[in-house]
Structure 1
Amino acid sequence: METAAVYRKIIHIDMDAFYASVEQMDNPNLRGKPLAVGGSETRGVVSAASYEARKFGVRSAMSGIQAKRNCPELLFVPPRFERYKEISKQIRNIFQDYTDLVEPLSLDEAFLDVTQNKKGNPSASLIAQEIRQRIFNEVGLTASAGISINKFVAKIASDYNKPNGQKTVNPEEVEQFLEELDIKKFYGIGKVTRDKMYHLGIFTGKDLKSKSKEFLEEHFSKSGLHFYNIVRGIHNSEVKPNRIAKSVAAEHTFTENLTSEIFMLDKLQRIAEELEKRLKKYNISGKTVTLKIKYSDFTIQTRSKTLPYFIADKGLLFETAQELLYQERMKESVRLLGISLNNLNTEMKKTVVVQLKFEF
């Protein structure tokens, strides 16, 4: 006698143009207008763009100069992360009414496992609809949702009916859904991997599925098995509400580019102080210090050093970062500096729960 397969019920909630939507909600004068959060028309990088701005090709990580070229009417506002975190906490409280299995990915998105939920509702689709309605009623913002049997498919599905929509991919629909998908829409496949797949004649999920496990492992190494599984709807990663931090970072973008290492030392000292505050707040230390340098041409360079002991002190952080700064000459003027610490003691203390940047 055959038994029916048991599937998880996973929801991916993704807020619509979150930072920009918060700004438009708080300031009625910005509603309906093309808006960029972060950057400016002379420098900086866009953190988020409203849907009105996206119609002109404005997107996150684009330089403010290019964004203004794309959309001459574009308005810029500075980010207010404390406000975004405040809103995120309200949204998280709504999630917690349905399940404790909530895994935040960032301020504006999260996975929820509602297989067993606090409402006793067997329909994940109805739960997603109810959550989205509550976010709109109680917070004033719209959200989109994807619903399926695993995190991978739910994440892809949440993009389908944006903004303010949702898509359910039922168990019997998963493989066909993935077969028909352009490979560039597969969550986790970036530009380099996409281009490599195109070169190998893999343009859709169906093309990917036609390749053997051996072929994929030959061309994509360890990722080959992952690609072989996901296109068949196999993705067993659980929703993990308590994720262990792997690194802690602090960085600063300058209003004017810096041309000399001497001018950078004062900035690095302040960054080290900020990083120390974050580390001490959560009782975290680490061994590997990484200096991040973004140049005026937007290229990024990192330099790292692993110490034989754990540190969290601003003095040692600065001293190591200074050593890394003088490791080689600057190739351009510098627009951003950052210090991160990884190889953390959280890897030994697996029960420590940390969420450094966001409380979602």
Structure 2
Amino acid sequence: MSARDDILTLQARMGESIVGQARMIERLLLGLLADGHLLVEGLPGLAKTRAIKSLARHLDARLSRIQFTPDLLPADITGSDIYVTDAGRGDFRFQAGPIFANLILADEVNRSPAKVQAALLEAMEERQVTVGGQTHKLEPLFLVMATQNPIEQEGTYPLPEAQMDRFLMHVNVGYPEASAEAEIIRLARTEEAPPQAAPAAGGGTADKLSPASVFAARAAIHGIAVSEPVERYIVALVQATRDPGRFDDDLKRWIQVGVSPRGSIGLDKVARAIAWLRGRGHVTPDDVQAVVHDVFRHRLILSYEAHAASVSADAVIDRLLQRVAVA
């Protein structure tokens, strides 16, 4: 099978155990393919944790779950040097923390103080950690999915905008449709049943996707063509966030700080990934529009006037798409 067939099979397998959240599955795979990290926001019980556990179950990769709490220390994530004695001699040895895995679930990342958040975000950006003057490289296949709860604000430490820019996408997860809710109930009822037979011997990793398929997919995505008109469209969307007055008076009032260059790079990467996932060898404006909300949502800093009028970042991006012409 081709790399795309492998990824589509992975997507289908994840969909068997996660009902009503096809968009979240697609965004998680886009983050994997574009070699970026995701900030996922949604109410409890919407299968955020289940999604990355399902990805780890069907991908030959190691998952670490880190529960962020106010008393967490940076060393609890990165690891630390410990003193070990052997045959009467002592020495410091590095004991790796949970960040040394392929898939990281940073659960409720806004519940930890700034030093812990900074340790995670540095590892995300540099793909390495430094402890005791020694640098330790992280895994080549490395994805962080950080979650935060939008309704609990007490005892939380909101991520600064400059640090949120390190995430490739900010994905909002909503409630499933009513028809999917019934299917979720049936799936949970099925999972409650005790296993009828022991699993077949030797079937542990046969159905797991190799990381090599992910790297092959990334190489194919790198070759997806982006025409000059589409490139100009991406640049125009980014520039419109920085000089909104040229396009609309409301946008000028609503946007305080526009999207950084990481946003334009991210939009290009994710647009190429979704074009590849949809079976095309080139990016179209529709691909850009399909992912621009997830790439811009956490990078826009809205004004006080926008917050006072209950104007969301998604509403601002909708207005941008209306005002910026396709090249």
- Of structures 1 and 2, the larger Rg is shown by 1
Q: By percentage of residues, which structure has more strand?
A: 1
Task: Please report the TM-score for the alignment, with normalisation by the length of structure 1.
Answer: 0.25
Ranked by relative contact order (alpha carbons within 8 Å, sequence separation 6 or more), the top structure is: 2
Task: Please report the TM-score for the alignment, with normalisation by the length of structure 2.
Answer: 0.26
